[in-house]
Amino acid sequence: MLSRQAMTTLCVAAAVGVIGGLNAAVSALLGGGIGMLGAAAYAWRAIRSDEKDAKKAYRAQMLGETYKLAVILGGFALVFVGYKDLAALPLFLGFALTVVVYWMALLKTRN
């Protein structure tokens, strides 16, 4: 899943970079990176648990989602504060497409 998100991020950054320049490409990379870090945080917390008890498995999933949200919010905060030449549209485009790839991969594993 992360490899697909990485490939999507690189493709978006390249396309946006051709159109909008270096700052747009870096912004798209940062947005995609935030999405990938969020997915990795979820996987690290939720999937590492091999619980047989339904309550504990549910709790692990909810903690994974909490970690994911915290990483995403923290990532956006760091980018907005730290990167002065930010291009907002490519940032959110990179992030949104990694989220779409994440959900498409989940749907594919369900079938």
pLDDT tens sequence across 2-19: 888 999 999 999 999 999
Per-residue confidence at 55, pLDDT binned at 50, 70, 90?
Answer: confident
Domain hosting residue 86, numbered range: 2-110
d(CA 28, CA 38): 15
d(CA 35, CA 29): 10
d(CA 10, CA 3): 11
Beta strands in the chain (DSSP E): none
For the whole prediction, is pTM greater than 0.85? Answer: yes
How many structural domains is the chain composed of?
1
pLDDT tens sequence across 61-103: 899 999 999 999 999 999 999 999 999 999 999 999 999 998 8
